């Protein structure tokens, strides 16, 4: 049987009705990955609810099963992990295939560097083009022995038996994956591993380590762990993913008369840049019922239609909205006036080159968009129908589904199978909320 993302999936989307009702999008991808990793290495049984059953987080789950961890899935979104302790992983029989998932590869590189056995990490064609030296280089400074392939891309061969030692490392780019990789390697290192980032990035690793009873020192942009400790099993309730909710936030903002509530969304301040940017553009977004669940802030998010206007996106918000720019570009395309983004060169090394692919696709449906080396300039105006290509990038596929809701004709979106990496059930949920989108599989 072919894996879901080897199928060819095309979306066809066109204007629907105003978005209404209450919507719960699937669980947070970043938190889901980390729950498997830390649960596997903990002592005792970790129960996870709200787990994202998307291909990316399932790639992590399957990788840990392949290293001997018993992981049960008793019901939808429920995962029970029988932790093996810090030294309990076993050599996998073959290379670990992490599919489309950069988070799996970069975070696991840190953990694998501390094992006694050799591991090879591989991925699909998109992941095989993504830069891995950003983690391999500092891991080597810690004493890891790692080979990457041509241009520093996967496969990554990580040799076991390395004696890791803590380092004090300043990450050159704002990346939660690099920070998390080094903290996870630091669990196996002698002494303290200290990471300083140029700007705040998502802090789920730091929070979850503490939830498993592991001490993490956080001081401004620096965080540190000392190796040699243990993780104690816990229970984790994964909130809905704000990155998935973002498609509904933009759709409800731009489709006249919309009024929806997105339930139980993670609103960790290192992830809420999308709300700040939309509000600066004039969006009507209210956080209701704010609470803290398992160490992560959560809220219901009410979004009502509003007239959006273009802005210069403040650069400090870029790392806090890094996955939401494809759909924010759609908001900019229908806003009045000009939106400018700069300082976002990291978008060029995501699942696709999100600056070039979004600019090409926006232009294909009549939007005045211009790619720059580190961002985009977009003049708001009408969107036409036409054909676009997501280049296998889940967030680009979903962004053009949103764009089509205001287009003058249908938009056909090619290469959408990877929507299943982060948002299984997207077409059904978007349709139930009011969008018009159908899916054809070949």
List the one residue out of 179, 181, 235 whose CA is nearest residue 202: 179
Instruction: Name the strands in the sheet holding 368-372, side by side, starting at the edge strand that comes first in the sequence.
Output: 338-341, 375-379, 368-372
Cis ω before 155 (30° cut-off from 0): yes
Judge contact between 14 and 412, C-beta under 8 A.
no
Q: In the numeric block, which tokens belong to residue 4?
A: 């879901």
From residue 228 to residue 267, what is the string marking binding to ligand S3P with x (rule CB under 6 A)?
----------------------------------------
Within 157-176, the residues that bind ligand S3P by CB under 6 A are 175-176
Judge contact between 341 and 302, C-beta under 8 A.
no
The yes or no reply on residue 352 touching ligand S3P (CB under 6 A) is: no
DSSP structure class, residue 418? T
Q: How far is the CB of 101 from ligand S3P (least distance, A)?
A: 9
- Which CB, 180 or 361, lies closer to ligand S3P? 180
**CA separation for the pair 311, 273 (Å, rounded):** 14
The yes or no reply on residue 177 touching ligand S3P (CB under 6 A) is: yes
Judge contact between 242 and 299, C-beta under 8 A.
no
User: Of the candidates 300, 323, 389, 415, which one interacts with ligand S3P according to CB under 6 A?
Assistant: 323
User: Of the candidates 35, 180, 361, 418, which one interacts with ligand S3P according to CB under 6 A?
Assistant: 180
Q: How far is the CB of 433 from ligand S3P (least distance, A)?
A: 23
- Which CB, 326 or 386, lies closer to ligand S3P? 326
Within 8-37, the residues that bind ligand S3P by CB under 6 A are 30
> Where does residue 341 fall: left (phi above 0), alpha (psi -120 to 50 degrees), or beta otherwise?
beta
- Which CB, 95 or 173, lies closer to ligand S3P? 173
Q: How far is the CB of 204 from ligand S3P (least distance, A)?
A: 7
- Which CB, 202 or 391, lies closer to ligand S3P? 202
From residue 188 to residue 217, what is the string marking binding to ligand S3P with x (rule CB under 6 A)?
--------------x---------------
Judge contact between 69 and 91, C-beta under 8 A.
no
- Which CB, 296 or 323, lies closer to ligand S3P? 323
- Which CB, 202 or 264, lies closer to ligand S3P? 202
**CA separation for the pair 441, 358 (Å, rounded):** 23
The residue from 276, 323, 389, 415 that is catalytic is: 323
Within 104-133, the residues that bind ligand S3P by CB under 6 A are none
Q: How far is the CB of 109 from ligand S3P (least distance, A)?
A: 13
* Surface-to-core class of residue 175, CB atoms within 10 Å of its CB (0-12 exposed, 13-18 middle, 19+ buried): buried
Catalytic status, residue 323:
yes
Q: What is the largest CA-CA distance in the chain?
A: 61
Chain position carrying tokens 């302790």: 85
Q: How far is the CB of 183 from ligand S3P (least distance, A)?
A: 11
DSSP structure class, residue 365? T
**CA separation for the pair 197, 177 (Å, rounded):** 11
What sections of 284-409 are H helices per DSSP?
325-334, 354-364, 394-404
Within 411-440, the residues that bind ligand S3P by CB under 6 A are none
Q: How far is the CB of 346 from ligand S3P (least distance, A)?
A: 6
What are the distances in angstroms from CA 353 to CA 28, 45, 86? Answer: 23, 40, 37
- Which CB, 223 or 254, lies closer to ligand S3P? 223
Within 65-104, the residues that bind ligand S3P by CB under 6 A are 103
> Where does residue 198 fall: left (phi above 0), alpha (psi -120 to 50 degrees), or beta otherwise?
alpha
The yes or no reply on residue 346 touching ligand S3P (CB under 6 A) is: yes
As annotated, the active-site residues are 323
Binding positions for ligand S3P, rule: CB under 6 A: 30, 103, 175-177, 180, 202, 322-323, 346
């Amino acid at each position: 049987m072919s894996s879901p993302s080897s199928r060819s999936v095309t979306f066809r989307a066109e204007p629907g009705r105003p978005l209404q009702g209450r919507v719960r999008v699937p669980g947070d991808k970043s938190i889901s990955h980390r729950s498997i990793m830390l649960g596997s290495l903990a002592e005792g049984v970790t129960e996870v609810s709200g787990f994202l059953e998307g291909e990316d987080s399932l790639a992590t789950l399957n990788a840990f099963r392949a290293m001997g961890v018993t992981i049960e899935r008793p019901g939808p979104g429920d995962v029970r992990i029988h932790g093996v302790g810090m030294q309990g992983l076993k050599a996998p029989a073959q290379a670990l295939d992490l599919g489309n998932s950069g988070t799996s590869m970069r975070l696991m590189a840190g953990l694998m560097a501390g094992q006694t056995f050799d591991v090879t990490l591989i991925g699909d064609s998109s992941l095989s083009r993504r830069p891995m030296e950003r983690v391999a280089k500092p891991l080597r400074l810690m004493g890891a022995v790692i080979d990457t392939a041509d241009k520093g891309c996967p496969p990554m061969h990580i040799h076991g038996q390395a004696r890791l030692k803590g380092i004090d490392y300043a990450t050159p780019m704002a990346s939660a994956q690099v920070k998390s990789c080094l903290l996870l390697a630091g669990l196996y290192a002698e002494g303290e591993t200290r990471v300083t980032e140029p700007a705040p990035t998502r802090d789920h690793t730091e929070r979850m380590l503490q939830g498993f009873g592991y001490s993490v020192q956080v001081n401004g942009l620096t965080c540190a762990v000392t190796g040699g400790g243990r993780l104690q099993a816990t229970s984790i309730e994964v909130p809905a993913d704000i990155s998935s909710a973002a498609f509904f936030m933009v759709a409800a903002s731009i489709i006249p008369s919309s009024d929806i509530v997105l339930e139980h969304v993670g609103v960790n301040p290192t992830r809420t840049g999308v709300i700040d940017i939309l509000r600066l553009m004039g969006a009507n977004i209210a956080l209701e019922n704010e609470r803290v669940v398992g160490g992560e802030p959560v809220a219901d998010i009410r979004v009502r239609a509003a007239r959006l206007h273009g802005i210069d996106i403040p650069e400090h918000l870029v790392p806090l909205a890094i996955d939401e720019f494809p759909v924010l570009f759609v908001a900019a395309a229908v806003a009045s006036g000009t939106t400018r983004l700069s300082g976002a060169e990291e978008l060029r090394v995501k699942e696709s080159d999100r600056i070039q692919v979004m600019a090409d696709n926006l232009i294909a449906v009549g939007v005045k968009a211009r790619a720059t080396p580190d961002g985009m300039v977009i003049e708001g105006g009408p969107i036409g129908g036409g054909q676009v290509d997501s280049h296998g990038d889940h967030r680009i596929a979903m962004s053009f589904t949103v764009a089509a809701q205001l287009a003058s004709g249908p938009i056909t979106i090619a290469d959408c199978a990877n929507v299943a990496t982060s948002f299984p059930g997207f077409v059904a949920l978007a349709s139930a909320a009011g969008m018009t989108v159908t899916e054809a599989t070949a």
